[in-house]
Structure 1
Amino acid sequence: MTRRWRLRALVAAVLLQVVVLLGLLGYARYPVWFGKEVVLRTVPVDPRDLLRGNYARLRYDISEAPMPEVGVPKVGREVYVQLHRKGQVWKAVETRYSPPPGDFIRGRIRAVRVGSVTVEYGIEAYFAPKDKALELERRLRQGGLARVRIATDGRAALVSVEDTGADSVQGAGERP
């Protein structure tokens, strides 16, 4: 191989890596850039993790979704939770194994209960500096609101968390 071909191969390899990294970034940020914004009621569960950093672990009203009407719910199975707006906040209406018509969010079943399933959506951790994470925990003890953007395929991204009586808490947000 000549020197010119080696240089071209090296440039092509570097460009391919850059394109792949940009593609991964675009895939992760797509819901934030193009998704529909919904507001979900939330409460903090756990403020920090020694290995992962400071964050507020969030639990949503829609984390407990109705039991799917067909099929046997299994832990780890992907589900689509249909959402309906009631005032400012969105609520879970129905759980399906395929995308329903209208607005929905995609998640995975984490537990099966009597009459409902616990669903995790990938928006359960809000990362922030230590002081902000502790302040968020203190302010949200009685609950708050999370602004979430949902892409057309149901993928969700956490945008901000706010208590119901104060300014929005914006920070590092969800870490991929």
Structure 2
Amino acid sequence: MMTGIRLIISAVVLALIQIGFLSWIIAGRAAILRDGRQVLLRVEPIDPRDLLRGDFIRLGYDISRIPVKLIANIPAGKLTSDDTPIVVRLKQGADGYWQATAAWFGHAPAPAASDETDIIGHVSAGWDLSAATTIAPDYGIERFYLPEGEGIAIQDDMRVRPFGVRVAIAADGAAQIKALMDGDKTLFEEPLY
């Protein structure tokens, strides 16, 4: 009898831990979308379909290719290690889109000014920084899922007119896509939950 009660208590505790962990992940994403600084990035389409999750657009940004000359602290060996974090400082341009103005591996030496913000990306291993002119960080905002049947049409439109993505960036540099924009028009907006 005591073993059965312990088993039930253990199962309930395990379930509560799992629910708590999932809630923490969802709340973290929602906090970025709700409180993060919003920036507008110009996008370039790459590919529209995932067999398991439906239509999506794979997005590339101007900040997806960082010139090596913008990186202030290139490592001594001049090679990136596995999943090297990179801080990219963004500033809004005259056209409304935010662009990279500086970058650092690891941490920025000083906080961003009030008209700037920092986004955190990760660089895969093996970039030879002595030979490369650009590197390609991954910010975790490279896919945007759409209602079924709309991915190809939107991707085709992206090839003929400018689209953007409104991104919310948390104080720690983590980013979440907030909305897909067709010029000034919001096409799709991400819900908080």
Alignment match, 2:176: 157
1:130 alignment partner, SS class:
coil
TM-score by length of 2: 0.77
Give 1 or 2: higher strand fraction. Answer: 1
1:46-65 correspondence to structure 2 within 5 Å: 46-65=47-66
| Paired letter, 1:41 | R
1:1-176 correspondence to structure 2 within 5 Å: 1=2, 7-67=8-68, 68-70=71-73, 71=75, 72-74=78-80, 76-87=83-94, 88-100=96-108, 101-102=111-112, 103-110=117-124, 114-141=132-159, 142-164=161-183, 167-170=185-188
Larger relative contact order (CA 8 Å, sep ≥ 6): 2
CA 5–36 in structure 1, closer or farther in 2 if over 3 Å, else same? same
Percentage of matched positions with identical amino acids = 27
| Paired letter, 1:18 | I
Q: CA deviation at 1:4?
A: 5.9
- More deviation in 60-69 or 28-37? 28-37
Aligned residues: 172
Q: CA deviation at 1:98?
A: 2.8
CA 73–89 in structure 1, closer or farther in 2 if over 3 Å, else same? farther
Structure 1 gaps, min length 5? none
Q: CA deviation at 1:92?
A: 0.5
Q: CA deviation at 1:22?
A: 0.7
1:20 alignment partner, SS class:
helix
CA RMSD of aligned residues (A): 2.4
TM-score by length of 1: 0.83
